[in-house]
């Protein structure tokens, strides 16, 4: 009896699950017939399943709505999309179509805001939160939006001197600002305090001595972001509590303060064994804010989030062919794939990020432990561990079929394009894969189209001056 890959998956996880199922021996992802796509377009390919993005926005709203109702919470909830997690227009169009607001991170992000405006995707009422360390150019562009009548721009001060730029460049009678408070990093991190934001102990003195004296700037928002994400851990709850307490103390002396921004960091499945109770976490956050406000006798703030990965991560996948199985010693087999992992899923190399990894075909074959080798000649171009165990198992690829083994990394929709650079020159000149957009038409039927074909040698060589 062989131990089949399908048995391994069914014995290890609850399978099928929300986005993954097997139909006629092939994997489906959100009902997308992946083998059909692979046969139509070939590998390597990246795909974006657009409807998932809107579904995520709606899902989060529902969780907050329920939590707010349950706690009899008086503030409102605002969903902002953190554009840096994926700037593609099909992503922005989808989040905006679902009523999300925006968060920007850099000067060029404001150029993107203007593009969206000229296309009628946003208007002067859209809430746009501006984060990041601001260069003078970035503050000029933010000020320009305010001067041109955008009413809900909220530059979040990353340091105490940033306000002087707006003093100089904004010419309206009043404008909103926020303060980002620096959080303490997780105990095992290299630094104690995040470089982003104003240190906690300086926030109240800064408000008293500078902002409260400013005739035009109105402090509207306190912002903090626990970089390691919204987790049910002592560290997260401790940082959240500190942030809320600071909000309450600030509110006591700052009547214009009405908004608490808890940033991004909502996790998404990175293994089939992922377990996370979104409703529980959101309800606890809302209740914690409510209880603290009651204790301080203040009004409950509107709650803002800036979910990036949560919004767009689950929409993406990278599909590769296994082109060779190299046996390098008695126990190590390398499945060589047809693109670089460093280029296509750079977080797996840079920060050890894991993604859901599943074969598209050959689930009835036996399985074996493998290392996945990227096509570049870089020693670090490999993937050999999953979240639930420190190894990777995939089907044996030698069989009677003419079809190679296809594998997919799923939930890769956030950050990978921007970090890898889309187009441009690539590590070892291995081209960007083709990018396929999958959507649903008015009749609910899945459609697919090529956003970009596979990058050509010519496109790289011309950048290189040839
Ligand atoms: C200020 C801020 N908001 C939101 C986000 C989005 O985080 P995530 O993609 O984890 O939701 C980030 C990510 O670094 C951030 O720095």
Q: What is the pLDDT of residue 5?
A: 97
* DSSP E strand stretches across 282-366: 302-307, 316-327, 333-337, 356-359
CA 144, 149, 151, 157: dihedral to nearest 10 degrees? 10
Residues 253, 121 share a domain: yes
Task: Measure the CA–CA gap between 200 and 208, rounded to whole angstroms.
Answer: 14
Task: Indicate whether 350 and 332 sit together in one domain.
Answer: yes
Nearest atom in ligand 1 to 264's CA:
11
Q: Are 325 and 366 in contact (CB under 8 A)?
A: no
How many residues in the chain? 466
Tell me, yes or no, whether 12 lies in a domain: yes
Atom of ligand 1 nearest to the CA of 229: 10
182 within a domain of the structure (yes/no) = yes
Classify 462 as helix, strand or coil: helix
Among the candidates 307, 331, 353, a domain finishes at 307
- For residues 100 and 198, membership in a common domain is answered with yes
Minimal-distance CA residue to ligand 1 atom 12: 264
Ligand 1 center–CA 326 separation, angstroms: 39
Residues 113, 128: contact at Cβ < 8 Å? yes
Asked whether residue 303 falls in the same domain as residue 323, the answer is: no
H or E element, residue 382:
strand 382-383
Judge if 223 and 280 occupy the same domain.
Answer: yes
Q: Which domain-ending residue is among 307, 337, 364?
A: 307
Q: Which residues line ligand 1 (CB under 6 A)?
A: 82, 85, 103, 131, 225, 263-266, 306-310, 414
Residues 422 and 342 in one domain: yes
Helical (H) or strand (E) element with 284: helix 278-296
Global confidence as pTM: 0.96
Residues 279 and 196 both lie in one domain: yes
Gap between the Cα atoms of 348 and 345, Å rounded: 6
Q: Residues near 360 by Cβ (< 8 Å), separated by ≥ 6?
A: 26, 27, 34, 35, 38, 319, 406, 407, 408
In the reported structure, the alpha carbon of residue 443 is separated from the centroid of ligand 1 by a whole-number distance in angstroms of: 35
Q: ∠401-402-407 over CA atoms, to 5°?
A: 85
User: Residue 210 domain-assigned?
Assistant: yes
Atom number of ligand 1 nearest to Cα 131: 1
**Structural domain contains residue 199:** yes
Residue 211 is assigned to a structural domain of this protein: yes
Å from CA of 181 to ligand 1 middle: 14
- CA-closest residue to ligand 1 atom 4: 264
Q: Whose CA is nearest to atom 7 of ligand 1?
A: 264
Long-range contacts of 248-251 (CB under 8 A, 24+ apart): 248/292, 248/293, 248/295, 248/296, 248/298, 249/204, 249/296, 250/203, 250/204, 250/207, 250/219, 250/222, 251/296, 251/298, 251/299, 251/301
Q: Which two tokens stand for residue 51?
A: 């409807």
For residue 105, the CA-to-ligand 1 centroid distance in Å is: 9
pLDDT for 1 equals 64
Confidence at residue 190, expressed as pLDDT on a 0 to 100 scale = 74
- The CA distance from 306 to 104, in Å, is 10
Q: How far, in Å, from the CA of 263 to the mean position of ligand 1? A: 6
Asked whether residue 47 is assigned to any structural domain, the reply reads no
User: Where does residue 209 fall: left (phi above 0), alpha (psi -120 to 50 degrees), or beta otherwise?
Assistant: alpha
Dist. CA 266 → ligand 1 center (Å): 9
Which residues, at least 6 apart from 393, have a Cβ–Cβ distance to it below 8 Å?
5, 8, 367, 368, 369, 370
Per-residue pLDDT tens listing for the chain (466 residues): 669 999 999 999 999 999 999 999 999 999 999 999 999 999 999 999 999 999 999 999 999 999 999 999 999 999 999 999 999 999 999 999 999 999 999 999 999 999 999 999 999 999 999 999 999 999 999 999 999 999 999 999 999 999 999 999 999 999 999 999 998 777 777 777 778 899 999 999 999 999 999 999 999 999 999 888 999 999 999 999 999 999 999 999 999 999 999 999 999 999 999 999 999 999 999 999 999 999 999 999 999 999 999 999 999 999 999 999 999 998 899 999 999 999 999 999 999 999 999 999 999 999 999 999 999 999 999 999 988 888 999 999 988 899 999 999 999 999 999 999 888 999 999 999 999 999 999 999 999 999 999 999 999 999 999 9
Interval between CA 26 and ligand 1 midpoint (Å): 35
Among 306, 316, 414, 416, name the best residue to mutate to test ligand 1's pocket (greatest count of ligand atoms within 8 A of Cβ).
306
Tokens of 138: 């970035």
423 bridge partner residues: none
* DSSP percent split of the chain into helix, strand, coil, nearest 5: 35, 25, 40
Q: In total, how many domains does the chain have?
A: 2
The distance between the two most distant Cα atoms of the chain, rounded to a whole number of Å, is 79
CATH number of the domain encompassing residue 299: 3.20.20.10
Please tell me whether residues 110 and 222 are part of one structural domain. Answer: yes
Same domain? For 282 and 153 the reply is yes
82 CA from centroid of ligand 1 (Å): 6
Same domain, 448 and 356: yes
Helix (H) or strand (E) holding 259: strand 259-261
φ/ψ of 455, rounded to 5, equals -60, 145
Q: How far is the CA of 124 from the centre of ligand 1 (A)?
A: 24
In which domain, by residue range, is 442 found?
5-42+315-463
Counting other chains too, the contacts that 348-355 makes at CB distance below 8 Å and 24 or more residues apart are: 348/383, 348/409, 349/380, 349/381, 350/419, 353/270, 354/270, 354/271, 354/385, 354/386, 354/387, 355/270, 355/409, 355/410, 355/411, 355/412
Domain assignment of residue 299, yes or no: yes
Q: Which of 308, 309, 351 to mutate to test the pocket of ligand 1 (most atoms within 8 A of CB)?
A: 308
The reply to whether 21 falls in a domain is yes
What is the Cα–Cα distance from 14 to 363, expressed in whole angstroms? Answer: 16
Choose one of 307, 337, 361: the last residue of a domain. 307
Same-domain pairing of 319 and 395: yes
Q: Which atom of ligand 1 is nearest to the CA of 227?
A: 14
Determine which residue's CA is closest to atom 14 belonging to ligand 1: 227
Residue nearest to atom 10 of ligand 1 (CA): 265
Kindly give the number of the ligand 1 atom that is closest to the alpha carbon of 265: 10
Residue from 228, 261, 263 whose mutation best tests the ligand 1 pocket (most atoms within 8 A of CB): 263
What contacts 115, CB < 8 A, 6 or more positions away?
A: none
Residues 320, 294 share a domain: no
The enclosing domain of 383 has a CATH number of: 2.40.37.10
């Amino acid at each position: 009896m062989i131990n089949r890959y399908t048995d391994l998956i069914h014995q290890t996880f609850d399978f099928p699950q929300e986005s993954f199922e097997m139909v006629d021996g092939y994997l489906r992802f959100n009902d997308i017939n992946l083998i059909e796509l692979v046969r139509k377009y070939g590998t390597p390919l990246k795909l974006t399943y657009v409807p998932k993005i809107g579904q995520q926005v709606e899902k989060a709203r529902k969780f907050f709505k329920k939590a707010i109702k349950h706690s009899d919470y008086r503030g409102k909830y605002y969903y902002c999309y953190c554009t840096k997690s994926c700037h593609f227009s099909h992503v922005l169009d989808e989040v905006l179509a679902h009523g999300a607001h925006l968060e920007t991170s850099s000067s060029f992000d404001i150029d993107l805001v203007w593009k969206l405006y000229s296309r009628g995707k946003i208007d002067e009422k859209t809430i746009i939160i501006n984060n990041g360390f601001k260069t003078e150019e970035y503050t000029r562009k933010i000020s320009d939006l305010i001067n041109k009548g955008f009413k809900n721009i909220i530059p979040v001060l990353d340091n105490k001197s940033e306000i002087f730029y707006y003093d100089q460049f904004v010419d309206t009678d009043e404008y909103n600002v926020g303060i980002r408070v620096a959080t303490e990093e997780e105990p095992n991190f290299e630094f104690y305090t995040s470089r982003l934001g104003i240190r906690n102990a300086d926030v109240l003195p800064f408000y008293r001595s500078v902002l409260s004296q400013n005739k035009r700037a109105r402090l509207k928002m306190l912002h903090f972001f626990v970089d390691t994400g919204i987790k049910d851990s002592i560290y997260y709850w401790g940082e959240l509590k500190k942030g809320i307490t600071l909000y309450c103390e600030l509110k006591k002396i700052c009547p214009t303060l009405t908004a608490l921004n808890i940033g991004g960091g909502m996790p998404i499945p990175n293994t089939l064994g992922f377990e996370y109770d979104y409703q529980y976490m959101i309800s606890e956050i809302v209740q914690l804010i409510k209880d603290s406000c009651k204790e301080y006798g203040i009004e409950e703030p509107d709650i803002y989030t800036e979910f990036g990965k949560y919004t767009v991560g689950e929409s993406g996948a990278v599909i590769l062919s296994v082109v060779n199985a190299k046996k390098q010693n008695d126990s190590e087999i390398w499945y060589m794939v047809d693109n670089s992992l460093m280029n296509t899923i750079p977080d797996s190399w840079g920060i050890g990020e894991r993604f859901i990894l599943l074969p598209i075909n050959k689930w009835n074959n036996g399985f074996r432990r493998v290392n996945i080798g990227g096509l570049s000649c870089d020693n670090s171009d490999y993937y050999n561990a999953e979240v639930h165990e420190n190894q990777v198992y995939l089907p044996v690829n030698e069989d009677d079929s003419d079809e190679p083994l296809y594998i997919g990394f799923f939930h890769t929709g956030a950050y990978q394009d921007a970090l890898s650079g889309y187009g441009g020159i690539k590590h070892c000149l291995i081209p960007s894969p083709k990018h396929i957009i999958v959507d649903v038409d008015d009749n609910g039927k899945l459609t697919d189209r090529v956003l970009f074909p596979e990058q050509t040698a010519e496109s790289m060589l011309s950048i290189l001056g040839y």
